[in-house]
Structure 1
Amino acid sequence: MTEATQRVSENGVSIWLDDLSRTRIESGNLQELIANDNVVGVTTNPSIFQKALSQVGPYDAQLKELGKVDVETAIRELTTTDVRNATDIFRQVAEDSDFVNGRVSIEVDPRLAHETEATEKQAVELWEKVNRPNAMIKIPATLEGLPAITETLAKGISVNVTLIFSLERYEQVIDAYIAGMAKAAENGHDLSKMASVASFFVSRVDTAVDKLLEAIGTPEAKEMEGKAAVANARLAYELFQNKFANDPRWPALAAKGAKVQRPLWASTGTKNPAYSDTKYVDELVAADVVNTMPEKTLMALADHGDGKVTITEGSFAEAHDTMNVLAEMGIDFKEVTDTLEADGVAAFIKSWDTVIADVQSAIDRVNA
């Protein structure tokens, strides 16, 4: 293990890779990352599958075997096969961690982000199709997604809640999780084998807020660039700690084996070259969190990351101060996060449309 990834892990961060492809699985690269870089899970999303499925070659054999199926069926078969194979690679990690880690996430069709019942239905279909206890179904934290999260958990299905940007929405996500676990207990499911993470997006917040600060143009505004995302995430961690420590519903569920829904730092690749390429890892180290990172960020962490604990009691006060200063400068943070959620859903739908086109072309090519 590299020194930095080991230190991050020892300080409570589960390192998950934000990428998956047939090539990565079949080449042995995924096993290498587990063995050498403390990787203990994988997340996928429509953009990741768009990149993977655009490759000519790796999926041809399965497409030939499937024949001239409709494109939606083909996509479902290709993606669930990759996730199933990845969960098998992580199975020992899952068992060794009592199913806290070793998780591989697959997302519901992003076009269903505002359709509660359709999301619930597809979550069950994906869970049954992958058919592995260490899978996780990703559901976006839209208003319509919240009840789907509860009902999916109620069926004993582990959930990765994605596209969280605001503290307000994050608290609603935790409430949806606790309600779902209570229903799962009522339905007789083993809570100890279930898990959930709340994917709180980070770097995109700085991208959005920095543009607003540049438009303000004052030296004081310049001084605040690159501070919003980390402050927002640290306040999310404060909320996580307070909610599970004080919610009266939680102790009874914990007694039945339920695990806290861990915050997961997503969108942790640095988009601004002026910032450290490990900024959204090194500044968000704390116990009981996940950081899912693209391979480029993982390799930067392994090479020169710090990995020391950086979310402390003192950091909460600083984060509150940061958000207050931004508000005084006229930054409407709710408007920022509402826009980021809408843009996130739209971006995933655009990627999914490309997946459909690419897979249809591959179907036509292998069956020509």
Structure 2
Amino acid sequence: MTDALTRLSQEGVAIWLDDLSRRRISSGALGELLDARSVVGVTTNPAIFQKAISAGDGYERQVHELATRRVTVEEALRMITTADVRDACDVLRPVYEETGGLDGRVSIEVDPRLAHDTEATIAEAKQLAWLVERPNVLIKIPATRAGLPAITATIAQGISVNVTLIFSLERYREVMDAYLTGLEQAAAKGLDLGRIHSVASFFVSRVDTEIDKRLDSLGTGQAKALRGKAAVANARLAYQAFEEVTGSDRWQALSAQGANAQRPLWASTGVKDPAYPDTLYVTELVAPGTVNTMPEATLEAVADHGEVTGDTVKGTYEESRRVLDDLEALGISYEEVVNLLEEEGVEKFESAWNDLLGSTRAELERLAPKEG
């Protein structure tokens, strides 16, 4: 483990890998990252699986068997992805045991086409939890308006959840409320709250991408000075909201019953603008009780030259709020940006899912038994 990753872990940041493939599991590469890079969790999404399946590396036998059975593309996709997540859960099971269930987690996402259908999302979450059948799986549910009650219902059934696609501070507060409500309902059913876990995935880099584009169109010196500051400021203010909620009487009552805090997870941490340091969304978001899920390139960048100097979030709230206020003063609407990013996020997930279905269909056709 490198000094930067060691320090990051010591500061209370759980390092998760935002990638998964069958080859990464079977080759032992995933297991090696647990020791060499302090990785204690894994997140997946449709784009990650699409890349893995289209490469075909390690999937041929299962796809051939599925094609022989003439299953639907949707069923084949679920069998393939849940198999990978199940195996990854087994690789990370020792971490899960060592941390009392806090880490060692692997996330799998509900069908994003259901993002605006509450009941279908709840049913899908239950099905995925049943298919994977591992205590360290997290079911990813998008933080759409319809997703909020689905989060509550899923938590209330004792299923651990990764809430994804959070961009705005208001929606994040609603997500935390949905989690607490779910815990309260679970407690009323007599469920063990200590076995329920959740993270709230707050997306980072996409905020800068959208706001920087608007700043560039203004072209003023003041606009230029604000480039690359919005995403970090937004995430830091999310942590402030997290501190407020975990300091509330409502949370303290649940905590006394053994409940686990819903940790903020920094997602979309790969830097998209080459003008910025490639470790920006890691080193500037160091705070205890958080998770940072990184694509491998970002993980390696931090390992190679990341500078972790301690907590970089607490004490920044006033400055962060000023960044958002300055953007509003320039005519850049925070509410408009975060609403757009949520809409685009769902669309991107749906598009990636459709691509994933296409890749799976192509592999089923390629590996189907030849007639005659």
Please say whether Structure 1 and Structure 2 have the same fold, judged by a TM-score greater than 0.5. Answer: yes
Answer yes or no: is the 8 Å Cα contact 2:18–2:43 preserved in 1. Answer: yes
Tell me how large the CA RMSD over aligned residues is.
0.9
Which residue of structure 2 lines up, in the alignment, with residue 255 of structure 1?
A: 256
Hey, what's the Cα distance between the residues in 2 that align with 1:206 and 1:118? 33
Match runs of 1:1-368 below 5 Å = 1-66=1-66, 67=68, 68-246=70-248, 248-367=249-368, 368=370
Amino acid at match of 1:5: L
Hey, what's the Cα distance between the residues in 1 that align with 2:57 and 2:87? 18
Post-superposition offset of 1:342: 0.5
Hey, what's the Cα distance between the residues in 2 that align with 1:163 and 1:111? 14
Answer yes or no: is the 8 Å Cα contact 1:195–1:261 preserved in 2. Answer: yes
Unmatched runs of 5 consecutive residues or more in structure 1: none
Answer yes or no: is the 8 Å Cα contact 1:206–1:227 preserved in 2. Answer: yes
Post-superposition offset of 1:103: 0.4
Structure 1 vs Structure 2: percent identity of aligned residues?
Answer: 56
Deviations 1:154-184 (A, max 9, x none): 0000000000000000000000000001111
Answer yes or no: is the 8 Å Cα contact 1:152–1:159 preserved in 2. Answer: yes
Answer yes or no: is the 8 Å Cα contact 1:98–1:193 preserved in 2. Answer: no
Post-superposition offset of 1:301: 0.4
Hey, what's the Cα distance between the residues in 2 that align with 1:240 and 1:131? 30
SS of 1:314's equivalent? coil
Post-superposition offset of 1:109: 0.2
Hey, what's the Cα distance between the residues in 2 that align with 1:337 and 1:3? 35
Hey, what's the Cα distance between the residues in 2 that align with 1:119 and 1:212? 34
Deviations 1:65-110 (A, max 9, x none): 2222110000000000000000000001011111010000000000
Hey, what's the Cα distance between the residues in 1 that align with 2:314 and 2:4? 23
Answer yes or no: is the 8 Å Cα contact 2:284–2:313 preserved in 1. Answer: no
Hey, what's the Cα distance between the residues in 1 that align with 2:48 and 2:341? 19
Amino acid at match of 2:54: S
Answer yes or no: is the 8 Å Cα contact 1:84–1:132 preserved in 2. Answer: yes
Hey, what's the Cα distance between the residues in 2 that align with 1:21 and 1:313? 36
Amino acid at match of 1:183: Q
Hey, what's the Cα distance between the residues in 1 that align with 2:340 and 2:303? 33
Post-superposition offset of 1:308: 2.3
SS of 2:331's equivalent? coil
- What TM-score do the two structures reach when normalised by structure 2? 0.97
Post-superposition offset of 1:310: 3.8
Amino acid at match of 1:130: V
